[in-house]
Amino acid sequence: MKRALITGVTGQDASYLAELLLNKGYEVHGIVRRVALEDPVHRLWRIRHILDKITLHAGSLESYASIFNVVEKVRPDECYHLAAQSFVTYSFEDAFSTLNTNINGTLFVLSAIKEKVPECRFYYAGSSEMFGHAKTTPQNENTPFYPRSPYGISKVAGFDLTRNFRESYNLFACSGILFNHESPRRGFEFVTRKIAIGAARIKLGLDDELRLGNLEAKRDWGFAADYVKAMYLMLQQDDPDDYVIATNETHSVKEFLELAFACADLNWKDYVIVDKQVYRPAEVYLLMGDYSKGKKKLGWEPTVRFEELVKMMVDADLKNGEMLRSHT
Ligand code: F7E
C-alpha cells in the first residue's frame, strides 16, 4: 500500500486529493496545525467525512523540527505540499509572514524529504500568480514569471527551490503551475466563493448588498477536483517535470458575477457595490493558461467549464441555508 503525506490537509485541494488517493488505495496522512486539531468543527469541515480514514499529524510550516518528525514517522512514497498562506490580498498586509511560511515551509519539507526519504516523490503547489503581469497570453511553462504580490513572489521562490532540489539532489520533485481552481469547498475570502455566498444570502433575504473590488480582472477558473487529478498524475510519470494546469479560457470577475446572480434569479447591478478599499496595491489583470503540455504528457483535461462551475457553486450555497445564516 502506497503512503501519501499531504501538507495543508484542511484545505480545498487537499480534501479532494485525499478522496482521490483513498479511492486509489493509498494510506493517507496529513499535516495540520495544532490549532486546527483543537477546533475541528471550524477547521476540519472539508475533511470531516473522511476523518476516520486518514491520519492527522500536528505540525507547522514554521518549524523544521515538526515537519522533519512527521516525515520521519510517516516515510511517505509521495508528498503533496499544498500548505501555504494562499490569500493574495493578505500577502500585501503581512508580507513577512507570507514569505516566511511559504518559502521556509517549502524548504523545510524538501529538506526533510532529502534527509529522510530521498526516494519520495514530491509535488509543489505552484500558482498562476507567478506569471502575474505576464507579457504574453496564454501562459505556458516557458512564459517568464513576473509576480505582482508577496504571495506570487513566495510561490516563485518555492518553484525555484523545487527545481533546485530536483537538479541538485536528484529528487523526484514536480511543480504544478495551477491557475485558479474553485469549488463549493473554496475558502470564503476568494472572489468566486464570496460571490456565490453573496448571491445566496441576498436570495434568502440575509443581505441586501455585496461589496467587491476590481470587477475587470480576468482569470482562468477551473474545478478543483479536476486539478488534483493532475497533481496525482505528475507523480506517476517516469520523470519529474513542471506543468501548467488550466482551462485555456479567461473570464472577468464581472462575468462570474453576472452568471452567479442570474443562477439565483437576481440582477447583480441591484446589489453590488464596487469598493476601492478592496482593490489590491498591484493587480494581476489577465491570466489564461495553456495546458497543452499536461494534456499531451499526462493525458489531463478539465471536465468542468466556466458556466458549469459557477452554477455548481451557487446551487451548493443556495442549498446550504443553515451555514449561510451563521456566516457573517
Ligand atoms: O481574486 C478580484 C481580485 O482572491 C481573483 C488563490 O487561490 O488563485 C487565487 O488567487 C480576482 C483578483 O484569487 C474581490 O482583485 C474583486 O483580481 O479569488 P481571488 P487570486 O488572487 O486570483 C491563485 C491561482 C492562487 O494561487 C491563490 O492562492 O478577483 N476581486 N473583488 C476580488 N478578490 C477577492 N478575493 N475579493 C473581492 O471582493
Tens digit of each residue's pLDDT (9 = 90 or more) over 18-64: 999 999 999 999 999 999 888 888 899 999 999 999 999 999 999 99
Q: How many other CB atoms sit within 10 Å of the CB of residue 301?
A: 13
Is 124 within the bounds of a domain? yes
Q: In terms of residue numbers, what domain contains 204? A: 187-219+249-288+304-326
Say whether both 169 and 53 belong to one domain: yes
What is the whole-number distance in angstroms between the Cα of residue 89 and the centre of ligand 1? 8
pLDDT (0 to 100) of residue 327: 67
Say whether both 215 and 229 belong to one domain: no
Judged by average pLDDT, the poorest of 33-42, 112-121, 140-149, 172-181 is: 33-42
Is 111 within the bounds of a domain? yes
Say whether both 118 and 253 belong to one domain: no
- Count of helix runs (H) and strand runs (E) in the chain: 14, 13
Is 298 within the bounds of a domain? no
pTM summary value = 0.97
Say whether both 7 and 137 belong to one domain: yes
Say whether both 140 and 259 belong to one domain: no
User: Mind listing the pLDDT tens digit for each residue in 189-218?
Assistant: 999 999 999 999 999 999 999 999 999 999
Is 79 within the bounds of a domain? yes
pLDDT (0 to 100) of residue 320: 86
> What is the number of structural domains in the chain?
2
Q: Tell me the torsion sign for CA atoms 149, 152, 154, 157.
A: negative
Is 296 within the bounds of a domain? no
Is 293 within the bounds of a domain? no
CATH code, 276: 3.90.25.10
Query: Ligand 1 site: residues with CB under 6 angstroms?
Result: 86, 88-89, 127-129, 179-180, 189-192, 194, 212-214, 217, 219, 253, 278, 280, 283-284
Atom 9, ligand 1: residue with shortest CA distance = 180
Task: Give, rounded to a whole angstrom, the gap between the first and last alpha carbons of the chain.
Answer: 43
Cell of 154: 513566495
Strand partners of residue 174: 123
Is 68 within the bounds of a domain? yes
Mean pLDDT of the chain: 97
- Scanning 117-177, the segments in alpha helix (DSSP H) are 150-169
Q: How confident is the model at residue 323 (pLDDT cuts 50, 70, 90)?
A: confident
pLDDT (0 to 100) of residue 225: 98
Atom 17, ligand 1: residue with shortest CA distance = 217
Are 218 and 156 in contact, with CB atoms under 8 Å apart?
no
Say whether both 45 and 176 belong to one domain: yes
Q: What percent of the chain has pLDDT over 70?
A: 99
Tell the residue number behind the cell numbers 486529493, with chain if given.
17
Is 44 within the bounds of a domain? yes
